[in-house]
A and B are shown apart, each in its own frame.
Chain A
């Protein structure tokens, strides 16, 4: 069977699992999630097979627009993302078997979750504007339904509302973009769009609309505000899917239009994407540093990683418009590699956060602590996840960020001096984001898993269920494997880079010791396998020699703490106190962070209070004025609600005359 037929069948089967869930009801949830896991694994296999052969297969189904049908295609670009979706979907579905086991209302999520996966798969397969937008909208609505699972919580309803508004806005932008691409002739098939490239300015307008449409789904600043609300509100496997996979589907949409459907854009379009990406990276991770809610911090870190992916994509756009396909392939491979890595890391972390939420009943970091003693397996897997996402060697997060930096280092080759100046500054911002990510994840892990338990619930937390642990373990293996053997992953995604840029990285599998050599051996090389091996060997050697020859005695004693041990667990550094230095230094300007001390007057024995406020600047700068504008317009339009019949008739007449005039002038 051609890969595209297989993928289409899988998408259909995943969509059909929704009605099946309704038919069989809650008792069948285990079977349905298990079926979704299998289907996702099949999808991953299909994507991988399509990548290995490097071929494009197409299929036309007799549904959708009557004269067009639903065109589907599985080319290398789509295959990379089908692979990503398959792996991420399989892990989330596997963990769902355990996660929803004690769910009192399984039908709130069960009919939506497998079809959500199917809709995302359909977006990746779509090869005409109509089926693409259709699948996109189904994906948005199903994910909205999943966000609203816990609809009794007012915060969840608020998140759902914001998400719905942003999703509608994003689809509108996509609709306009595809309208521009189709042109007056209305060629909605992707091959028709490719055959008629629009004028350069139209290309820039289309890319701008795609940034709005895909960027709002991916969480690009300043369209990110819904993401820290909606992703954490959903059940944790769904959070993993939304952060790990759905944001990548949005990245796919941007790549598909910017590289495949459109000719090279003007160079300043690339620089705009670089600036937006680098800005998203810094702002997103800074929000994660000050966030007190574990799942919201993870969602904010998604904004950062999407920023890194978009910055690399912008670099690829710039190299492409400068006529340097090899360097464009380097930047694009970095973006694709980071997308794959982020799927693995973020799904792992969200599944772990779900286990912690189950075990402690809270998402607030300051109500956890010491979970490593109660949940050893979850803690070990989460440690791997935070190390990977903090971009530390030898794990996968570092490998892809290293590749991004190599692309940044190649920027002197760009012809425009404005870009030459911009790219190193953007590289500095990405390094800042990476360093902040390390701080954010030391804080998240240190406060939640290390130290002493802060509440009785944290002290009695049970270990995660086996299905979730298995899913996390598989994702951790992916993180480790992609970190140690990045060359193999790059070789796998090379057909996609070649399809979009006309060039690809040199084959990495034949390099000695599987060293990563993006451009040439003299420019910079990295070998994850050797670095990992060296660190492991040196640590083992040191430990072995010391234990054998010097001393291996160990005594447990109360903590020393400078001679004044505090028995209260609240004396530990918590989420707020850990963030304080960074909040003061960077948050004061970027997040408008303020600390106010309320001192009782002299003689008053009541406690002093410290109030800390920090807010996402996008709300105050963009959304609050927008909301006020909408309200003012609505209040103004309200006047037309109670007019006399004469006025309504004259309004109707007036608009008729205006429309006829317009028709006469342009017709």
Chain B
């Protein structure tokens, strides 16, 4: 029974994240539009865009190699596997032991590596520009992410996400300064990783400040659809990660019944909607920053991560 349920949970989660990710993007866009007194596209618009792109022919530049054509699938697959291993509504994922938080972060790194290489493949100035800036951001974001992992692993005694989520949901955790710091740091890193304002603007095009859009400039058709879907998945993954680590209320634990799983799923949807709304409000309220200010922005995350870890060494209760 336990095995069947956890296999079921794993399968449901894999399908759920793919189905839900473009909707989340749609929700964020809708809320942003409403905040700026526009009506906005329907929340299902990203899904429609992806399906439309999938049916179109793909146009590939003459100078592109097979790396350009293979990269979208690698990006999507790595992001999907990472998203499938972050607990969303239940911690008893069948394959959660195949990768801990460090490996999940590294899977996102694999997706970024493939995307940056694809950006360099056509041999245009924009692609290289996006790739070089993306790698700069990653240079600061990755150590920050590791230090956050450290803080969490020290507090929960494991780098395994399901164990961390279980420990965070447990009664003995309580409020801690270091976890607050980790939350702020993780939020900053997530903003940068997903190319949101103030780091990058997902809505820009044809601007010298863009990063993600510059790398995918040459993509079209099914390749672009894969990349868009992966970007949505990454946003969902980030929100799920913050949700399962810092707001694990109601998440189904191993051994819980089917009804608990269903209420947990409903609660998860509410959490994600809330997170998306908060993101939209934040993005409407702040302005984008200069590229060379971003390392300072991420440096704050790095310092908070380190401080959180050191505080835990000073006292396990902080």
Contact = CB atoms under 8 A, between A and B. Distances in A.
Nearest to B146: A431
A633 interface: no
Contacts of B158: 522-524
A442 B147 contact: no
Interface stretch (A67-75, A79-87, A568-576): A568-576
A402 B306 contact: no
Given A526-B98, A559-B62, A560-B217, A582 B139 contact: yes
B135 A438 contact: yes
Interface residues of A, number: 90
A558 B61 contact: yes
A432 B146 CA distance: 9
Contact of B206 (A557, A559, A562): A562
A393 B100 CA distance: 12
B264 interface: no
A609 interface: no
A542 B217 contact: no
Interface in A434-465: 434-436, 438-439, 442-443, 445-447, 450-452
B222 interface: yes
A562 B217 contact: yes
A580 B146 CA distance: 25
Contact of B313 (A370, A412, A524): A412
A424 B131 contact: no
Interface string B152-163: 011001111001
Contacts of B295: 585
A442 B142 contact: no
A405 to B, nearest CB: 5
Contact of B160 (A439, A522, A561): A522
A584 interface: yes
A573 B129 contact: yes
B128 interface: yes
Given A526-B99, A531-B81, A560-B218, A409 B57 contact: no
B59 interface: yes
Nearest to A525: B97
Contacts of A451: 63, 120-123, 128
A524 B217 contact: no
A580 B128 CA distance: 11
Interface string B176-193: 000000000000000000
Contacts of B217: 560-562
Contacts of B80: 538, 542
Contacts of A561: 122, 124-126, 217-218
Interface residues of B, number: 86
Contacts of A560: 59, 61, 217-218
B310 A450 contact: no
Contact of B100 (A525, A534, A559, A569): A525
B279 interface: no
Nearest to B147: A428
B77 A572 contact: no
Contact of A531 (B103, B112, B122): B103
Contacts of B132: 443, 573, 577-582
A93 interface: no
A446 B54 contact: no
A536 interface: yes
B226 interface: yes
Residue of A530, A572, A581 ringed by the most chain B CB atoms within 10 A: A581
A424 B139 contact: no
A293 B58 CA distance: 36
Interface string A378-393: 0100010001001111
B292 A585 contact: yes
Contacts of A526: 98-100, 102-103
A582 B138 CA distance: 11
B97 A527 contact: yes
Given A405-B146, A542-B73, A546-B54, A565 B157 contact: no
Interface string B185-227: 0000000000000000000001000000000011001100110
B131 A573 contact: yes
A402 B122 CA distance: 33
B169 interface: no
Contacts, number: 285
B305 to A, nearest CB: 8
Nearest to B107: A393
A651 interface: no
Contact of A550 (B55, B84, B136, B145): B55
A536 B139 CA distance: 26
B125 A515 contact: no
Nearest to B139: A435
Given A531-B103, A536-B77, A450 B120 contact: yes
A391 B108 CA distance: 12
B92 to A, nearest CB: 14
B76 interface: yes
Contacts of B78: 535
A307 interface: no
A447 B120 contact: yes
Residue of B59, B126, B132 ringed by the most chain A CB atoms within 10 A: B132
A445 B136 contact: no
Residue of A390, A445, A561 ringed by the most chain B CB atoms within 10 A: A561
Interface string B229-253: 0000000000000000000000000
Contacts of A431: 142-143, 145-147
A438 B62 contact: no
B291 interface: yes
B116 interface: yes
Interface string A491-527: 0000000000000000000000101000001111111
Contacts of B291: 581
Contacts of A470: none
Contact of A572 (B100, B116, B128, B226): B128
B284 interface: no
Interface in B100-122: 100, 102-103, 106-107, 109-110, 112-113, 116-117, 119-122
A164 to B, nearest CB: 36
Interface in B52-100: 54-67, 73-74, 76-78, 80-81, 84, 95, 97-100
Contacts of A611: none
B131 to A, nearest CB: 6
B29 interface: no
B127 interface: yes
A386 to B, nearest CB: 9
B25 interface: no
B30 interface: no
A402 B81 contact: no
Residue of B110, B140, B157, B159 ringed by the most chain A CB atoms within 10 A: B110
Given A559-B63, A582-B139, 12 more contacts: A372-B65, A405-B146, A428-B305, A443-B132, A446-B119, A527-B99, A530-B95, A554-B58, A579-B132, A581-B291, A585-B292, A585-B295
26 contacts: A370-B123, A390-B113, A424-B150, A425-B306, A427-B147, A435-B140, A435-B142, A442-B113, A445-B117, A446-B121, A446-B128, A450-B121, A523-B158, A525-B97, A526-B103, A534-B77, A542-B73, A542-B226, A551-B221, A553-B58, A554-B60, A571-B125, A572-B124, A580-B132, A581-B292, A582-B135
Interface of B: 54-67, 73-74, 76-78, 80-81, 84, 95, 97-100, 102-103, 106-107, 109-110, 112-113, 116-117, 119-129, 131-133, 135-136, 138-143, 145-147, 150, 153-154, 157-160, 163, 206, 217-218, 221-222, 225-226, 291-292, 295, 302, 305-306, 309-310, 313
